[in-house]
Structure 1
Amino acid sequence: MDLQISVFLLFLLFTAGHSLRCYECSSQTGSCANQKETACTGGSYSCFSSTGVAQVGGITTKQMSKGCADVCHSWSYNYGYMRMYSSCCYTDLCNLQGPPDPVANGKKCYTCDENGCSKTLSCTGNEDRCFTATDNFEAPLRVGKGCVSKHLCDSTSSYSCCKGDLCNGAQSVTQSFLFLCCSLLSYFLLH
């Protein structure tokens, strides 16, 4: 019994000073060529990688971010012309490659474009819910629709989420592109 306690205490002694190391970067070009290794501080127990992609008027922009996280969940949301996805890992320098590009998962939701909200969108990765996001601060009512992962539905009141194909309705409304871009920008700034 004393040997087991001694081995356990020895293990604690050698691991207590070790902190997780992750790659860290923030890129507006979608490539983290300038990533650097960083030692995580505080309660950071995971590394994350997130990617945001927007397509406006035939122009595609991609942003990438990597770093340490206290609490990390893999998630994704997709407005059709804008999507963001993130992945987590828990070993040293495990976020080298960034999140894998999500593949279609068979689920479909409605999305909005300049002609209304009756277009369908193929969900990807862990997007297992449809959502409707509403901006009630401006008139007329502005709405965005698309696919989202369960974790985002559970952790924010910004989305009204539902399960099932095309459950987020197809009513025609005007969307606020600025509102949708602000949600992507705010996520990058807050993480």
Structure 2
Amino acid sequence: MDLQISVFLLFILFTAGHSLRCYECMSLTGSCTGQTEQTCLSGYSQCESSTGITKVGDITSKVQAKGCVPACQSGSINFGLVRTATSCCNTDLCNLQNAPEPSNVPNGKKCYTCDGESCSAILSCSGDENRCITATETSGSVTATVKGCISKSFCDATTAVRNVVSISCCEGNLCNGAQSVSQSFLFLCCSLLSYFLLH
């Protein structure tokens, strides 16, 4: 009996102090070759890997990000000029592989997107993007709106994006309306992208 109690106490001792470890990197060149191991802080229970792609004209840039997060959803978001895909896991060093690039294979779903002057352009959704999103930010007297395609898992997690006053997701083709509103379009895209990459 004493041996069983000793083994049980030893097991608790070794598991109680275990913290999740994840790979960490932030690469603006699209490659996480210099990633390091990170011991997650208390409350950070998942490892995340994200790939973001921005395309303006003929110029395309890729961002890779990895690290510990308190909560994570796997999925993708597409604002036309900016697309990102995120993968989540919850075991030590499980985010070794980069998140796959966001799919560019149309899935038949269509949503409105903004181009900086209006929000009447139509965007073909890809991969698991099965909802349309509208997000609005107000900073002083400037209001910016972005629209696009998003995975349902991201819609369920968009309750607290800093500086964004309203986020709504909907089902159905072109359900996110075509009204024209947009000033700091790229600024809001970057705010939302950084939220999904770093949270």
Which category of TM-score, normalised to the shorter sequence, fits these structures?
0.7 to 0.9
Q: Which residue of 2 aligns with 1:119?
A: 121
Cα offset for 1:22? 1.1
- TM-score, normalised relative to structure 1: 0.80
Q: What is the CA–CA distance in structure 2 between the aligned matches of 1:178 and 1:81, rounded to whole Å?
A: 9
Q: Does 1:85 align with 2:90?
A: no
- Aligned CA-pair RMSD: 3.1
Cα offset for 1:19? 2.2
Cα offset for 1:92? 1.4
Segments of 5+ residues of structure 1 without an aligned counterpart are none
Q: Which residue of 2 aligns with 1:133?
A: 135
Q: Which residue of 1 aligns with 2:173?
A: 165
Count of residue pairs the alignment pairs up: 191
Q: What is the CA–CA distance in structure 2 between the aligned matches of 1:115 and 1:51, rounded to whole Å?
A: 27
Q: Which residue of 2 aligns with 1:108?
A: 110
Cα offset for 1:82? 0.5
Q: Which residue of 2 aligns with 1:51?
A: 51
Task: Determine if contact 2:116/2:184 at 8 Å carries over to the other structure.
Answer: no
Q: What is the CA–CA distance in structure 1 between the aligned matches of 2:3 and 2:107, rounded to whole Å?
A: 51
What SS does the corresponding residue of 2:94 show, helix, strand or coil?
Answer: coil
What SS does the corresponding residue of 1:116 show, helix, strand or coil?
Answer: coil
Q: Deviations over 1:149-168 (max 9, x none)?
A: 32244455542222212101
Q: Does 1:32 align with 2:32?
A: yes
Q: What is the CA–CA distance in structure 1 between the aligned matches of 2:127 and 2:185, rounded to whole Å?
A: 24
Q: Which has the higher contact order (CA 8 A, sep 6+)?
A: 2
Cα offset for 1:190? 5.5
Question: Quick one: structure 1 residues 36 and 79, their matched pair in 2 at CA, closer, same or farther if it must change by over 3 Å?
Answer: same
Question: Quick one: structure 1 residues 67 and 9, their matched pair in 2 at CA, closer, same or farther if it must change by over 3 Å?
Answer: same
Moved more, 136-145 or 33-42: 136-145
Taking only the aligned residue pairs, the percentage that are identical comes to 62
Q: What is the CA–CA distance in structure 2 between the aligned matches of 1:189 and 1:165, rounded to whole Å?
A: 26
